[in-house]
A and B are shown apart, each in its own frame.
Chain A
Amino acid sequence: MGGYIGKIIRVDLTNKSFKTEALDMELAKGYIGGRGLAERYYANEVNPMVDPLSPENKLIFATGPLSGTPTPTGGRYMVVTKSPLTGTIACSNSGGRWGAELKMAGYDMIIIEGKSDTPVYINIHDDEISIKDAGHLWGKVTSAVTKELNTELGDKVKVATIGPAGEKLSKIAAVMNDIDRAAGRSGVGAVMGSKNLKAITVRGTGKVKVSNPERLKEVVAACNKKIRENGVTGQGLPTYGTAVLVNIINENGVFPTNNWQQSTFHGAEATSGETLAEKYLVKRVGCYGCPIACGRHCKVDDLEAGGPEYETIWGFGADCGVSDLGAVIKANYWCNEMGLDTISAATTIASAMELYEKGYIKPEDVDGVPLEFGNADAVIEWTKRMGEREGLGDKLAEGSYRLCEGYGVPEFSISVKKQELPAYDPRGIQGQGLAYATSNRGGCHVRAYLISPEILGLPEKLDRFSLEGKATWVKIFQDFTAAIDSSGLCLFTSFAMGAQDYADMYNAVCGTDLTGDTFIEAGERIWNIEKVFNLEAGIKPEEDTLPTRVLKEAIADGPSKGSSAKLNEILPEYYEVRGWDNRGIPSEEKLKALGIK
């Protein structure tokens, strides 16, 4: 069978040993690969009540069957574990080249167990695997680690590493790869840090086998054509990156500002994708095998760095009231260096600014850098302090929920299941609100990107204020996204491609005869095992909700003024569409029908 290598690495850090084993192809049939297959392995092997930062937790790096093949955007990998931030299943997805390289080295997944007594890194060069001392790398920022390992092991080696934030167990720490790509969300970097694992380096010189190369050529040509001809993937994303959304979301009046106290931002134009392109953009960059190339490289003063993405611009910009795009680029750079998730880091600073504004954090607590909304220096300085857990940065490193709860005002944390919400106010985008509330990894936009139909009009325009049909839309988007994540491709391809396109590519690569429907059904299976895991991990059904401010207060200003979240009206319908009971617990019949039980 093409696509799959059929081999995984299992590392026991406690005993500093490893072995390779065959991939369970029966499981691969039902769960595709990447997110789904790694989660199935994880749930089979780990007690859901495990302490995420204990040696008993496991950490899986997984590619999909299409990673490392000639399919468009086949460079992705996913990090699966239990999140120290949310207590749910975590699955963080990253681009760059590292994922494709792991496939070419000859592995579908790495399962990491136990905990090393001293800092180590794992080095993989085709058949050679070793666990090496990382004492000289500990404490270093991610670009320094990458450079040092490239000097030691050669330029062609791809590096995934944590920064100081992961070492110091920040609950919002990311795993960084290829310098500026991040498996960002849910604190997966802290799990890596808890195991004393600093980095994983990979060099692969093999090829991923394809079952039907002729057919694949045809299918890839057809998909690339769709990507080229689609307005978003062929024009919008390549020209402006994701940052172009700043003005769109602000013009709709759903652009959260000053820790979600307002929903339009006076500094939107100053921090927009258009301004980024005009003043700061140096070049466009793409991940492995990507015809879209949405990545950016920007320069401000002496600093040239990757990013920033839309979510990051919003977080350090509008949400912190900062209209200085140069400062946002610098804060983004420091997130990457420290190995922090940009969404959670920025919004945690925003919540600290509200704590400061309302007198919970005192001027004497801030060591000379006031946490005032609009303070451009603060977003840079507090990112560094958070990464190093310096002073009050120690509390910020726990994420906004624990920070605000510590002051007795958890409602200042704009999060779902303790993970911070991204850059779209769901009070004016009802389907996105449902998607946030029901996301299996807490506050997140890429479990189901309803912005696509509700704002961008893709694949068709829905009324963003209406609930009609949204339960079904959310379910389908969740399932479809889970399947795409599991295939090893980038979610952005779905602006141009439908389920059948993915099935066609999968079939050509793997020699199967999947249909678009069975592809989406695999996504549904994956969604259900995530939900079951979360329930068994102690996440309560009532936690499918939105932050207090979002639920109780209407939008205060701008074109969406007065609109409020209607989550409670639609949640029962969503559970029904899912085939779950009225509390949101998957029914036995549903699980049986999906072949889970």
Chain B
Amino acid sequence: MKIEVRLFATLRENRGKVLHISLNDGETVREVLNQLNISPEEVAILLVNGRDGLIDTALEDNDVLSIFPPVGGG
């Protein structure tokens, strides 16, 4: 299956903004982080299709995964 990964803020450095990644069925967000060399500690907000996700959330074909480092304040 293929998913879309959107990276933000400092996570874009050397990686890009939007990536398309192939995964095996049943694989989770953790595999994506591994592939992109992002350690879980760098991640503050994880969204799967705009809804709160977790490191162990299993992904499905065409999912959109958005990953943010710690940011904030309005």
Please give the residue numbers on chain A whose beta carbons come within 8 Å of chain B beta carbons, in ascending order.
230-232, 235-237, 239-240, 242, 244-245, 247-248, 251-253, 269, 273-274, 294, 309-311, 422-424, 445-446, 449, 451-452, 455-458, 461, 463-464, 492, 495, 558-560
Contacts and interface: CB of A to CB of B under 8 A. Distances in A.
B71 A248 contact: yes
A248 B73 contact: no
A558 B69 CA distance: 22
A251 B52 CA distance: 11
A240 B66 contact: no
A424 B73 CA distance: 12
Contacts of B74: 242, 245, 309-311, 422-424, 445-446, 449, 451
B8 A236 contact: no
Given A452-B72, A559-B47, 13 more contacts: A232-B70, A235-B70, A236-B69, A237-B71, A239-B10, A245-B72, A248-B71, A309-B74, A424-B74, A457-B45, A492-B73, A495-B73, A559-B51
Nearest to A310: B74
Contacts of B45: 248, 455-457
A464 B50 CA distance: 12
Contact of A252 (B9, B10, B44, B50): B50
Interface in B35-74: 44-45, 47, 49-52, 66, 68-74
Contacts of A559: 47, 49-51
Contacts of B2: none
Contacts of B12: 274
B47 A239 contact: no
Contacts of B52: 461, 463-464
Q: Most A CB atoms within 10 A — which of B17, B47, B51, B74?
A: B74
A324 B10 CA distance: 23
B9 A456 contact: no
Contact of A237 (B47, B50, B73): B73
Interface of A is mostly: helix
Contact of A240 (B47, B49, B50, B71): B71
Contacts of A452: 72
B72 A244 contact: yes
B30 interface: no
Nearest to A252: B50
Contacts of B51: 559
Contact of B69 (A231, A445, A455, A458): A231
A230 B6 CA distance: 24
Nearest to A232: B72
A247 B8 contact: yes
A242 B70 CA distance: 12
A247 B12 CA distance: 13
Contacts of B71: 231-232, 235-237, 240, 244-245, 248, 273, 456
18 contacts: A232-B70, A232-B71, A232-B73, A235-B10, A235-B70, A237-B72, A239-B9, A423-B74, A451-B72, A451-B74, A456-B45, A456-B71, A456-B72, A457-B44, A461-B52, A464-B52, A559-B47, A560-B50
A244 B66 contact: no
A489 B50 CA distance: 34
Q: Most A CB atoms within 10 A — which of B17, B47, B71?
A: B71
Contact of B50 (A244, A422, A458, A558): A558
A92 to B, nearest CB: 16
Contact of B72 (A236, A424, A464): A236
A230 to B, nearest CB: 8
B18 to A, nearest CB: 9
Contacts of B50: 251-253, 558-560
A286 B52 CA distance: 32
Nearest to A424: B74
